[in-house]
Amino acid sequence: MPFHPKPSAFALMLCLICASALGAAPHRLVLSSGDCRDAELNGQSKAFYDALRARPEQRVLSAPEFAERLFPASSRSFEDLQRQLDAAQDQFYEGRNARAAQLLDDALRDIRRLPPGEPRWKLFAHAQLLHGLNLRALGKTKDSDAAFLQVLRLQPKYQLDPDQYAPSIRQAFEKLRRDLARTPKVKLSLKSTLPTSDVYLEGLGVGQTPLTLELPAGAYELTMVKGDVVSFPRQVQAQGADTPLLVDLAYEGSVTAAPFPCLSAADGNEERTWSHAVRLGGTLGVEEVIVVRLERPSSGPKWFAATVLNVDGGQKLREGGFKTQGLDAPGEALSALVDFVTTGRSPSNLVVMNSANGKAPWDAGSARGTGADLTAPNLVSEADGSSGAASPRSGLRTASYVAVGAGVAALGGAGVVRLLAQKDLNGLEDRRAANGGQLVSSDTQAVALRDSLVGKSNLMTGLLVGGGAAVVTGAVLYLVSSPSKPAPVTLGVTADGTGAAASVSGSF
């Protein structure tokens, strides 16, 4: 009796591997919210961030990486970069063109990180024109023209100094100017959520929003500024008949990187803060954003609070906090809060928010006599209102792990039985061959092999069905116990005399 297991067992194992990956810590961003100049907020936020990053299993976007991604800054001053351009010019005049090209490429990378404005544009134009000269000396005419066009496309009337540029270079520059004038232009239509914002392309001021420019097609570095508010630098591809762009400067200008990643929230609009935090998390490619802040109710103690937001779905997962006073947060309370926001578990010295009123202890007007001990030294409140004991969701999560573990054991056992059955199957085929391709009832060895194979087949079927059902049950319990609302899931388990199959369909 040949045995043919269905490929669904392999699919179940893949599903199991995927399920185990769910245990990995999500990639997180810690972001303070409130007055970004508040030394106490920045200090306690940094302490929380350090406590979280100190745990080896946690994946947290570093503060330097946050700054580099959103606000790349030059490591050198205008004066330093001017000296480097002078050195590159000396190398060019001395015929060391390769060295000059290296110095210019290095300088241009840092020039693009300078604050926008006339000083930056002058450095940029000087570097590009010198680059064009040097590339021409190397015989790279097309690359030289491209460098010259970086200046002409934004300042078509730019004039070369005849004392510094040879007549042949000026003639080539004039030809590029004429060719550029005949080139079809693209409309770049720019708007901002803050009216009359200053617009900079490659550091050159080109007007105020709303603004429509006609430019040669290509990539431009765009920055918008309104007073002290500066947008994230971005590359804009001007192409097609019209390229419209709206910059949410009110949002981008509320984000700062120094002294700690912070989202300004002076108006106290909580929903806008959560929305901006989720949006920022999506920009940076993290899975969760932990927003930390200082809560100062009109009466009662001051609190350091943390809210965990899921970036993909935009849900608030957990919220907790502890009483604090002074510039430094208690180390034990910080550690307990890190435990809570990363695992959802409440240590014994923390009090979970009472679900009767649905408010955190620091919320204005929250009820104080509803059963929660709000006088405890360290308090954590949970947005979903679970009690201090193990919540039903926590029990379901534990049950999901047990079910998956049992399913793994059963599926592993089915694999072992399959290997043992193969040995019986080979022996049975040998007895058939010895008896002319027939099973003879008088052949006691063949009969024994057949009976053993039937038994192993039944055992394997049971293990596959049981293991598959256990894995499916574990997966469903995991989804049900998730903080976010689970997607619909459809289950299916089938079995017959030759094997078993289990299926799970839905969104995971």
CATH number reported for the structural domain that contains residue 127 in this entry = 1.25.40
Q: Are 482 and 462 in contact (CB under 8 A)?
A: no
Pairing of strands 185-192, 242-247: parallel
12 neighbors 2 (Cβ within 8 angstroms): no
Q: Which residue has the tokens 């840092």?
A: 110
Eight-state DSSP code of residue 394: H
Q: Which long-range contacts (CB under 8 A, 24 or more apart) does 118-126 make?
A: 118/204, 118/205, 119/78, 120/78, 120/203, 121/202, 121/203, 121/204, 121/205, 123/78, 123/81, 123/82, 123/85, 124/150, 124/202, 124/203, 124/204, 125/151, 125/155, 125/158, 126/85
Assigned domain for 21 exists:
no
Q: Are residues 46 and 92 in the same domain?
A: no
Secondary structure (DSSP) of 194-259: STT-EEEETTEEEEESSEEEEEESEEEEEEEEETTEEPPPEEEEE-SSEEEEEE-HHHHTTEE-SS
Is residue 466 one of the residues assigned to a domain?
yes
Number of domains in the chain: 4
Regarding whether 407 and 330 lie in a shared domain, the answer is: no
- Burial bucket for residue 496 (CB in 10 Å: 0-12, 13-18, 19+): exposed
d(CA 378, CA 341) in angstroms, rounded, equals 14
The CATH number of residue 207's host domain is 2.60.40.1120
Q: Six-digit token pair at 291?
A: 């927003």
Q: What is the residue-level pLDDT of the chain in tens, covering all 508 positions?
A: 444 444 444 444 444 444 444 456 789 999 999 999 999 999 999 999 999 999 888 899 999 999 999 999 999 999 999 999 999 999 999 999 999 999 999 999 999 999 999 999 999 999 999 999 999 999 999 999 999 999 999 999 999 999 989 999 999 999 999 999 999 999 999 999 999 999 999 999 999 999 999 999 999 999 999 998 999 989 999 988 788 999 999 999 999 998 899 999 877 788 899 999 999 999 999 999 999 998 887 777 788 889 999 999 889 988 888 888 767 777 788 888 888 888 887 665 554 443 344 566 666 544 333 333 333 333 434 334 333 334 455 566 677 777 767 777 777 777 777 777 777 777 767 777 777 666 666 677 777 777 777 777 777 787 777 777 777 777 766 665 655 444 444 444 444 444 444 444 444 4
Written as six digits, the tokens of 189 are 């239509």
Other CB atoms within a 10 A radius of the CB of residue 214 amount to 10
**Burial zone of 232 (CB within 10 Å; 0-12 exposed, 13-18 middle, 19+ buried):** buried
- Give the residue numbers spanning the domain of 331: 27-69+257-389
Q: pTM for the complete prediction?
A: 0.65
Find the angle CA(385)-CA(388)-CA(391) to the nearest 5 degrees.
70
Question: Where is the domain boundary, 360, 389, 418?
Answer: 389
Residue closest to 223 by CA, chosen among 108, 126, 117, 151: 117
Cis? peptide before 115, omega within 30° of 0 = no
Which among 124, 148, 182 is the end of a domain? Answer: 182
Which amino acid appears at position 378 of this protein? N
| DSSP H or E run through 143 | helix 141-152
For residue 441, the SS3 value is: coil
- CA–CA dist 352, 355 (Å, integer): 9
**One domain for residues 44 and 91:** no
In a domain, 10, yes or no: no
Beta bridge partners of 263: 33, 255
Domain check: are 199 and 148 in the same one? no
